[in-house]
């Protein structure tokens, strides 16, 4: 069963048509059981990706404040080997970054073949926060949709598998999560007065997200809308979509590894043969 909503290229997105509380009738217990199997499989797939070095994987996580980007990384990547995985977080750009084109800081950290990189926020901030706060002229952010699509196309044509997730929470759920941060000492470090201010711009952000999901869901890099009010469901949905995307590559990666192993064994045998001939 598919648990995320894949945005079909060229179609309109209306976020209020998608229920952030959706769980497709699953219970938390069932979800956790399935998640354990999926994270295990994701670990295997990542090992194959790493060893075969044919592709790279770029996972993009976007969502409103408190939507669970950090939590998703923590819960979905449990069986992934840190040796082959990186997380890149994109904050307010530095002076140096702002002096370059908006993709400069992003392109520097895309994954090379064999690696998996997770973007916690991404180049999409340049058509989201930048648009909502009018940090650049409208014509500038408008031209970025096409620039993003071309950038992602370049990556895909060079062997990168791109999976993009929008973690969809409701305004009410965000309020609950922000209030929980105030109440619970262990979560208070995450508090930022800015989060409450940004919340006042909720509608503007939702609308900016709708445009970004619409304009940048392409045949080669589709957006997934993830119902994310229930954290356990969000984790399962992301894991399921990731595994579903990577699974078709498994056989190819195994074949490459088999060839590599055959070659190494042949080399070893040849080396032993020369040694015994010399003896």
71 counts as binding ligand ADP under rule CB under 6 A: no
91 counts as binding ligand ADP under rule CB under 6 A: yes
Which residue, 41 or 70, is less far from ligand ADP as judged by CB? 70
According to CB under 6 A, which residues from 114 to 143 bind ligand ADP?
A: 120-121, 125-126, 129-130
Strands 116-120 and 56-63: parallel
Strands 223-227 and 116-120: unpaired
Residue 43 and residue 81 in contact, taking contact as beta carbons nearer than 8 Å: yes
Which residue, 45 or 216, is less far from ligand ADP as judged by CB? 216
Which range of residues in 84-92, 138-146, 156-164, 217-225 is near ligand ADP by CB under 6 A?
Answer: 84-92
Single residue of 9, 43, 71, 93 touching ligand ADP by CB under 6 A: 93
Q: Can you give the three-state secondary structure of 56-120, one letter per residue?
A: EEEEEEEECCCCCHHHHHHHHCCCCCHHHEEEEECCCCCHHHHCCCCCHHHHCCCCCCCCEEEEE
9 counts as binding ligand ADP under rule CB under 6 A: no
Going by C-beta distance under 8 Å and a sequence separation of 6 or more, which residues neighbour residue 95? none
Tell me the backbone φ, ψ of residue 133, rounded to 5 degrees: -95, 5
Helix or strand holding residue 160 (H, E): strand 160-168
According to CB under 6 A, which residues from 158 to 197 bind ligand ADP?
A: 192
Q: How far is the CB of 188 from ligand ADP (least distance, A)?
A: 14
Which range of residues in 90-98, 211-219, 246-254, 264-272 is near ligand ADP by CB under 6 A?
Answer: 90-98
65 counts as binding ligand ADP under rule CB under 6 A: yes
Number of H helices, E strands in the chain: 11, 6
Residue 176 and residue 65 in contact, taking contact as beta carbons nearer than 8 Å: no
Which range of residues in 36-44, 77-85, 87-95, 157-165 is near ligand ADP by CB under 6 A?
Answer: 87-95
Contact residues for ligand ADP, defined by CB under 6 A: 65, 89-93, 120-121, 125-126, 129-130, 192
């Amino acid at each position: 069963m598919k648990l995320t909503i894949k945005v079909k290229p060229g179609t309109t997105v209306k976020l209020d048509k998608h229920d952030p509380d959706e769980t497709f009738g699953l219970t938390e217990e069932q979800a956790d059981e399935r998640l354990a199997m999926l994270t295990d499989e994701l670990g295997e797939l990542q090992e194959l990706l790493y060893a075969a070095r044919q592709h790279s994987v770029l996972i993009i996580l976007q969502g409103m404040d408190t939507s669970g980007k950090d939590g998703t990384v923590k819960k979905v990547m449990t069986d992934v080997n840190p040796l082959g995985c990186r997380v890149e977080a994109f904050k307010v750009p530095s002076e140096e970054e702002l002096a370059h084109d908006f993709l400069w800081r992003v392109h520097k950290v895309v994954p090379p073949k064999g690696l998996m990189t997770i973007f916690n926020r991404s180049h999409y901030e340049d058509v989201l926060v930048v648009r909502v706060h009018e940090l650049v002229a409208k014509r500038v952010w408008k031209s970025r949709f096409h620039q993003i699509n071309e950038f992602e196309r370049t990556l895909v044509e060079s062997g990168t598998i791109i999976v993009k997730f929008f973690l969809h929470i409701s305004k009410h759920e965000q309020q609950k999560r922000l209030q929980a941060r105030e109440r619970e000492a262990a979560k208070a470090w995450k508090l930022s007065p800015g989060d409450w201010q940004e919340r006042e711009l909720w509608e503007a952000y939702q609308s900016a997200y709708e445009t970004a999901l619409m304009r940048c869901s392409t045949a080669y890099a589709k957006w997934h809308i993830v119902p994310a009010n229930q954290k356990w469901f969000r984790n399962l949905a992301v894991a399921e979509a990731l595994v579903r995307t990577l699974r078709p590559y498994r056989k190819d990666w195994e074949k490459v590894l088999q060839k590599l192993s055959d070659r190494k064994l042949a080399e070893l045998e040849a080396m032993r043969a020369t040694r015994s001939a010399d003896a």
